[in-house]
């Protein structure tokens, strides 16, 4: 048992904080629903932060830490699939990576755009292709989930798909770890923003965070957010399919529990684009539907644990 | 990070399991059925803990100077997990190992250490913790049981309540009021439970036998040497003790063991089918494992001798959610007769309500998290 971060891990997270400093808040007057930055993404890729999983002394657990940390930024960065799944397949695959379950044609996919690598996972194994304009329906810049998303409307013929020798179960495990890591970071950032707002906003002559009805629900949000972090780290360290399914399940349960509360505590301000809260909470909403949602992740966990 | 046990930790767990297998009698389940506070387990524990001590496994985590092996806090955790999963054959003596012994060692007078430690070390000492009173629960510092020093003796008058194990205890670790200063007016006295003037009444409850009691003190007289620490030092001392107690019972582990047992029973009955039961079982497991990780994070800090702060409250709240989820699962999916017949499931069903109250109510944990972890402005009072 060793549950503290290594010196290397602390240094990597510090380096990310330094690199991401200019991106730590929303540019004034920017009211985009999904905030992205090609510059930030490029800097992270060039700095090698998305490739830490392949380094022996760092591994998937450091990749999960990186994903968690980046998810706290108001800017959306495709990190989870690149950092946790790509090393299993081919570390040179063009980014961003879009993970989809087989048969997900017609669904909106995070970061899907021409040039992205689409990785399909299912009974047919693990296969990929690079998306072109033909595959992507009306590539929105914005979506209702604060991620850049687009609908996958077609895929290449079987023969044109690249097939991998990696079992689908392994990719699913890493996908779940990535999902849990990202959700943990999103919840941490959303909680912090809500804590700041409720500590400053006064009604009845007092900061609204002095009212116990809010305090207790915020404290519960801290408990489940902290829990999501630990479940993620355990799954990343053990790479066990049951741990990964439990981590994804817990993250989705937690996300569901906190998102409406956070908006609630901001009153009408929580409905504006002026306040950045939605950048984290609406991404969380997207994550709660991934991999079949809580029910499917729970079934995967039950199968892995009890058979 | 590494979530695996070291070979040494694993070997210790195996040794404990082998010890339990060899030492627990064939009719153990019928004894365990009565619960850790019962007369049956208490009597059993007075033999069992001695044998555990002889095998060097009663307090492996105590420093060598106290007769321990100076092993890290993971050993204490493994010990607690294995003992509770087996129905806690140490009975009430788990408290000695967790906090009474270490507190005596740290704050006791030479005389107190000389007389009080040997029975603990021999595995034959039952203690109770006289803190709560009818009007002082969460607001412990408002307690009113008086101790008046008169000619070298303390005269105690008042009442304690919810006192676990009081009916069979040898000694009480008693909080008394010696002056009006809210916290600095509280003093610890160590009171033998057979002192004249003490009346103990068991409180009938839905959580099992022998657990909660009322204890009345009518002109109970103890010598000044029964004082533990200085007058007014109680708050400082119990803050130290409670930090050790908070992780005392590995409820996450018990809850997971009960859940695994429930699933095994469902399978044996052919009822492990359909999606609903599996989804609910997995949700409960997610909570037990979250609680486990949150508790382990604290043990890890203790091993590194880092101060343990309000994250203990976060862990505690996780544990409350886990206990409840498993109890609810058991009640929802298993037939009543089966719960009744299975000692560990029954115990879990009975005690699922305890974690949210005992040693600091769940809402108090949330108050601590709000103020000390989230650093919200203080609550309006
Ligand atoms: C099984 C069991 C064993 C126990 N063993 C012992 C023992 O050995 N020795 C001992 O001294 N005590 C023991 N206790 C007592 C235990 O410490 C108290 O029950 C506990 O501190 C709560 O006090 P209370 O029961 O008076 O509840 P109260 O303090 O009356 O609380 C009732 C409810 O009000 C809530 N509440 C109170 N204050 C606040 C606040 N400021 N903000 C929000 N909500 C609040 C609580 O969270 C709780 O939900 C035991 C209790 C149990 C259940």
Within 8 A of A195 by CB-CB distance, chain B residues are 374-376
Nearest CA to ligand 1 atom 51: B358
pLDDT digits (tens, 9 = 90+) for B36-65: 889 999 999 999 999 999 999 999 999 998
Q: Give the DSSP per-residue string, B84-124.
A: HHTT-TTGGGHHIIIIIHHHHHHH--HHHHHHHHHHHHTT-
- pLDDT of A33 over the 90 cut: no
- pLDDT of B247 over the 70 cut: no
Rounded to 5 degrees, φ, ψ at B62 are -75, 150
In angstroms, what is the span from residue B357 Cα to ligand 1's centroid?
Answer: 5
Residue B317 Cβ < 6 Å to ligand 1 = no
> B317 and A223 in contact by Cβ < 8 A?
yes
Q: Domain range for residue A173?
A: 168-306
Q: Picking from A41-45, A71-75, B345-349, which range would have the lowest pLDDT averaged per residue?
A: B345-349
Q: Are A258 and A224 in contact (CB under 8 A)?
A: yes
pLDDT band of B209, cuts 50, 70, 90? confident
Q: Residue A222: which of B286, B291, B314 has the nearest Cβ?
A: B314
| pLDDT value of position A211 | 97
* Mean pLDDT, all residues of chain A: 95
Q: Please list, in sequence order, all residues whose beta carbon lies within 8 angstroms of the beta carbon of residue A197, skipping any fewer than 6 positions away.
A: A265, A266, A269, A275, A277
- For tokens 């996450």, name the residue: B252
pLDDT digits (tens, 9 = 90+) for B258-311: 999 999 999 999 999 999 999 999 999 999 999 999 999 999 999 998 988 899
> A198 and B374 in contact by Cβ < 8 A?
no
Rounded to 5 degrees, φ, ψ at B88 are 50, 70
Residue B313 Cβ < 6 Å to ligand 1 = no
Q: Which of the residues A10, A177, A222, A265 would you substitute to probe the B interface, choosing the one with the greatest number of B C-beta atoms within 10 Å?
A: A222
User: Nearest-CA neighbor of B172 among B184, B161, B182?
Assistant: B161
Q: Residue B380: which of A2, A206, A305 has the nearest Cβ?
A: A206
> Is B147 in the same domain as B96?
no
Ligand 1 atom nearest to CA at B165:
8
**Mean pLDDT within A267-275:** 94
- Inside any domain, residue B379: no
Element spanning B128, H or E: strand B127-130
Q: Residue B282: which of A199, A223, A298 has the nearest Cβ?
A: A298
As a whole-number percent, the residues of chain A with pLDDT over 90 amount to: 89
Question: How many Cα atoms occupy the beta-carbon half-sphere of A63 within 13 Å?
Answer: 32
d(CA A246, CA A172): 13
> B373 and A299 in contact by Cβ < 8 A?
no
> A219 and B374 in contact by Cβ < 8 A?
yes
Which of B361, B368, B381 has the most ligand 1 atoms within 8 A of CB, as the residue to mutate? B361
Please, which residues 156-215 of chain A have a Cβ atom closer than 8 Å to chain B?
191, 195, 198-199, 206-207, 209-212, 215
**Mean pLDDT within B210-231:** 96
- Inside any domain, residue A268: yes
Burial (CB count <10 Å: 0-12, 13-18, 19+), residue B210: buried
> Is B275 in the same domain as B286?
yes
As a whole-number percent, the residues of chain B with pLDDT over 90 amount to: 84
Q: In the listed set B233, B262, B280, which residue is the last one of a domain according to the structure?
A: B233
- pLDDT of B137 over the 70 cut: yes
d(CA B162, CA A135): 68
* Mean pLDDT, all residues of chain B: 94
| pLDDT value of position A246 | 98
Sign (positive or negative) of CA dihedral A19, A21, A25, A31:
negative
Size of interface A-B (CB pairs under 8 A): 152
Residue B212 Cβ < 6 Å to ligand 1 = yes
> Is B255 in the same domain as B354?
yes
Beta bridge mates, B154: B149, B222
> Is B132 in the same domain as B187?
yes
| Crossing angle for the helix pair A38-46 and A7-20, to the nearest 10 degrees | 150
Question: How many Cα atoms occupy the beta-carbon half-sphere of A261 within 13 Å?
Answer: 20
Q: Are A5 and A66 in contact (CB under 8 A)?
A: no
- For tokens 């486990």, name the residue: B292
Q: Which is more confidently placed, B111 or B242?
A: B111
pLDDT digits (tens, 9 = 90+) for A272-283: 999 999 999 999
Q: Give the DSSP per-residue string, B361-379.
A: -HHHHHHHIIIIIS-PPPP
d(CA B140, CA B360): 10
In angstroms, what is the span from residue B187 Cα to ligand 1's centroid?
Answer: 20
A123 touches chain B (CB under 8 A): no
Q: In the listed set B125, B147, B176, which residue is the last one of a domain according to the structure?
A: B125
Rounded to 5 degrees, φ, ψ at A19 are -60, -35
| Shortest Cα distance, chain A CAs vs residue B188, angstroms | 33
Burial (CB count <10 Å: 0-12, 13-18, 19+), residue A279: buried
Burial (CB count <10 Å: 0-12, 13-18, 19+), residue B246: buried
| pLDDT value of position B371 | 97
Supply angle C-alpha B358, B361, B364, rounded to 5: 150
pLDDT digits (tens, 9 = 90+) for B6-29: 999 999 999 999 999 999 999 998
> Is B164 in the same domain as B256?
no
| pLDDT value of position A142 | 59
- pLDDT of B245 over the 70 cut: no
- pLDDT of B249 over the 90 cut: no
Q: Residue B279: which of A215, A231, A299 has the nearest Cβ?
A: A299
Q: How many domains does chain A have?
A: 1
Identify the three-state secondary structure at position A96. coil
pLDDT band of A139, cuts 50, 70, 90? low
Query: Which tokens is A31 given?
Result: 């009211």
pLDDT digits (tens, 9 = 90+) for A219-248: 999 999 999 999 999 999 999 999 999 999
pLDDT digits (tens, 9 = 90+) for B64-93: 988 899 999 999 999 999 999 999 999 999
pLDDT band of B244, cuts 50, 70, 90? low
> B293 and A209 in contact by Cβ < 8 A?
no
Q: Residue B293: which of A230, A249, A301 has the nearest Cβ?
A: A230
User: A206-207 and A202-203 as β-strands: parallel, antiparallel, unpaired?
Assistant: antiparallel
Q: Picking from A23-37, B251-265, B312-326, which range would have the lowest pLDDT averaged per residue?
A: A23-37
In angstroms, what is the span from residue B364 Cα to ligand 1's centroid?
Answer: 9
- Inside any domain, residue B151: yes
pLDDT band of B343, cuts 50, 70, 90? confident
Q: Please list, in sequence order, all residues whose beta carbon lies within 8 angstroms of the beta carbon of residue A162, skipping any fewer than 6 positions away.
A: A127, A128, A129
Q: Domain range for residue B188?
A: 128-233
- pLDDT of A24 over the 70 cut: yes
- Inside any domain, residue A194: yes
Domain CATH code at residue A217? 1.20.140.10
Q: In the listed set B125, B155, B185, which residue is the last one of a domain according to the structure?
A: B125
- Inside any domain, residue A244: yes
| Crossing angle for the helix pair B251-268 and B311-333, to the nearest 10 degrees | 20
- Inside any domain, residue B2: no
- Inside any domain, residue B240: no
| pLDDT value of position B207 | 87
Q: Please list, in sequence order, all residues whose beta carbon lies within 8 angstroms of the beta carbon of residue B303, skipping any fewer than 6 positions away.
A: A1, B72, B73, B74
- Inside any domain, residue A100: no
| C-alpha dihedral, B353 to B358 to B363 to B366, nearest 10° | -110
Residue B358 Cβ < 6 Å to ligand 1 = yes
> Is B185 in the same domain as B96?
no
**Mean pLDDT within A1-9:** 95
> Is B155 in the same domain as B109?
no
Highest mean pLDDT among B28-32, B109-113, B350-354: B109-113
In angstroms, what is the span from residue B102 Cα to ligand 1's centroid?
Answer: 24
Q: How many domains does chain B have?
A: 3
Within 8 A of B283 by CB-CB distance, chain A residues are 249, 253, 294, 298
Domain CATH code at residue B369? 1.20.140.10
Q: Please list, in sequence order, all residues whose beta carbon lies within 8 angstroms of the beta carbon of residue B134, skipping any fewer than 6 positions away.
A: B159, B161
- Sheet containing A162-164: which strands, arranged edge to edge? A97-101, A117-122, A125-130, A162-164
> B370 and A227 in contact by Cβ < 8 A?
no
Domain CATH code at residue B205? 2.40.110.10
> A222 and B369 in contact by Cβ < 8 A?
yes
- pLDDT of A111 over the 80 cut: yes
- Inside any domain, residue A285: yes
| pLDDT value of position B261 | 95
Q: Which is more confidently placed, B249 or B129?
A: B129
- Inside any domain, residue A91: no
Distances (CA, A) of A131 to A49, A109, A137, A276: 24, 12, 11, 31
> Is B80 in the same domain as B169?
no
Q: Please list, in sequence order, all residues whose beta carbon lies within 8 angstroms of the beta carbon of residue A292, skipping any fewer than 6 positions away.
A: A101
Domain CATH code at residue B34? 1.10.540.10
| pLDDT value of position A144 | 82
Q: Residue A231: which of B279, B289, B374 has the nearest Cβ?
A: B289
| Shortest Cα distance, chain A CAs vs residue B379, angstroms | 4
Counted residue by residue, chain A has a size of 307
Helices (H) and strands (E) in chain B, counts: 14, 8
> Is B137 in the same domain as B217?
yes
- Inside any domain, residue A226: yes
- Inside any domain, residue A67: no
- pLDDT of B201 over the 90 cut: yes
d(CA B312, CA B299): 10
Q: Are B154 and B227 in contact (CB under 8 A)?
A: yes
In angstroms, what is the span from residue B255 Cα to ligand 1's centroid?
Answer: 21
By CA distance, what is A248's nearest residue in B?
B286
- pLDDT of A141 over the 60 cut: no
> A253 and B377 in contact by Cβ < 8 A?
no
> Is B205 in the same domain as B105?
no
Q: Which long-range contacts (CB under 8 A, 24 or more apart) does B22-28 make?
A: B23/B48, B23/B51, B23/B52, B23/B89, B24/B86, B24/B89, B28/B87, B28/B89
- For tokens 């072109």, name the residue: A132
| pLDDT value of position B144 | 98
> Is B98 in the same domain as B43?
yes
d(CA B301, CA B306): 5
d(CA B71, CA B318): 27
Q: Which of the residues A66, A207, A223, A296 would you substitute to probe the B interface, choosing the one with the greatest number of B C-beta atoms within 10 Å?
A: A223
In angstroms, what is the span from residue B360 Cα to ligand 1's centroid?
Answer: 6
User: A117-122 and A125-130 as β-strands: parallel, antiparallel, unpaired?
Assistant: antiparallel
- Inside any domain, residue B361: yes
């Amino acid at each position: 048992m060793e549950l503290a971060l290594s010196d290397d891990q602390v240094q990597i997270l510090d380096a990310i904080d330094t690199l991401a400093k200019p991106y730590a808040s929303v540019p004034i007057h920017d009211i985009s629903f999904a905030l992205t930055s090609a510059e930030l993404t490029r800097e992270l890729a060039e700095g090698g932060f998305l490739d830490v999983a392949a380094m022996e002394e760092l591994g998937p657990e450091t990749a999960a830490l990186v994903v968690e940390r980046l998810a706290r930024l108001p800017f959306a960065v495709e990190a989870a699939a690149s950092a946790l799944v790509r090393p299993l397949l081919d570390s040179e695959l063009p980014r961003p990576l879009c993970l989809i379950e087989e048969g997900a044609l017609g669904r909106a996919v995070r970061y899907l755009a021409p040039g992205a690598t689409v990785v399909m996972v299912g009974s047919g194994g693990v296969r990929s292709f690079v998306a072109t304009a033909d595959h992507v329906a009306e590539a929105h810049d914005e979506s209702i989930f604060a991620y850049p998303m687009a609908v996958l409307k077609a895929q290449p013929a079987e023969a044109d798909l690249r097939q991998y020798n990696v079992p689908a179960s392994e990719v699913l495990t890493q996908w779940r770890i990535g999902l849990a890591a990202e959700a943990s970071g999103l919840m941490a950032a959303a909680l912090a923003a809500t804590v700041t707002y409720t500590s400053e906003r006064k009604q009845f002559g007092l900061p609204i965070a002095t009212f116990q009805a809010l305090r207790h629900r915020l404290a519960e949000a801290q408990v489940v957010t902290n829990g999501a972090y630990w479940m993620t780290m355990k799954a990343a360290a053990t790479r066990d399919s049951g741990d990964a399914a439990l981590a994804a399940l817990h993250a989705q349960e937690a996300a569901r529990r906190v998102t409406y509360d956070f908006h609630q505590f901001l009153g009408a301000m929580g409905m504006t684009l002026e306040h950045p809260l939605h950048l984290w909470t609406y991404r969380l909403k997207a994550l709660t539907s991934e991999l079949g949602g809580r029910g499917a992740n729970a079934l995967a966990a039950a199968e892995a644990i009890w058979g | 990070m590494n979530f695996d046990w070291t070979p040494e930790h694993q070997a210790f767990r195996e040794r404990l399991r082998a010890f339990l297998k060899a030492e627990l009698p064939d009719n153990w389940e019928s004894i365990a059925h009565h619960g850790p506070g019962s007369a049956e387990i208490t009597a059993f524990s007075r033999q069992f803990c001695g044998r555990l001590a002889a095998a060097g496994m009663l307090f492996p985590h105590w420093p060598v100077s106290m007769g321990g092996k100076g092993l890290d806090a993971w050993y204490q955790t493994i010990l607690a997990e294995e003992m509770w999963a087996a129905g806690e054959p140490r009975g009430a003596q788990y408290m000695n190992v967790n906090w009474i012994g270490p507190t005596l060692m740290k704050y006791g007078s030479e005389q107190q250490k000389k007389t009080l430690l040997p029975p603990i070390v021999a595995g034959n000492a039952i203690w109770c913790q006289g803190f709560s009173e009818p009007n002082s629960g969460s607001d412990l510092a408002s307690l009113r049981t008086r101790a008046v020093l008169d000619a070298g003796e303390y005269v105690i008058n008042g009442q304690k309540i919810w006192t676990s194990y009081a009916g069979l205890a040898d000694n009480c670790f008693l909080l008394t009021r010696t002056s009006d200063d809210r916290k600095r007016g509280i003093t610890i006295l160590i009171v033998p439970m057979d002192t004249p003037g003490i009346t103990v009444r068991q409180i009938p409850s839905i959580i099992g036998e022998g657990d909660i009691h009322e204890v009345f003190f009518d002109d109970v007289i103890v010598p000044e040497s029964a004082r533990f620490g200085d007058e007014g030092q109680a708050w400082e001392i119990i803050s130290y003790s409670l930090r050790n107690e908070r992780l005392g019972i590995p409820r996450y582990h018990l809850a997971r063991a009960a859940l695994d047992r429930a699933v095994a029973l469902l399978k044996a009955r052919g009822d492990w089918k359909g999606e609903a039961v599996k989804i609910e079982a997995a949700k409960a497991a997610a909570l037990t494992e979250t609680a486990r990780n949150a508790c382990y994070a604290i043990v890890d800090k203790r091993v590194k001798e880092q101060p343990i702060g309000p994250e203990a409250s976060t862990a505690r709240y996780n544990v409350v959610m886990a206990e409840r989820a498993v109890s609810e699962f058991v009640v929802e999916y298993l037939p009543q007769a089966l719960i009744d017949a299975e000692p560990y499931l029954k115990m879990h069903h009975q005690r699922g309500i305890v974690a949210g109250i005992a040693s600091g109510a769940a809402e108090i944990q949330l108050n601590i998290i709000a103020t000390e972890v989230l650093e919200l402005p203080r609550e309006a009072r």
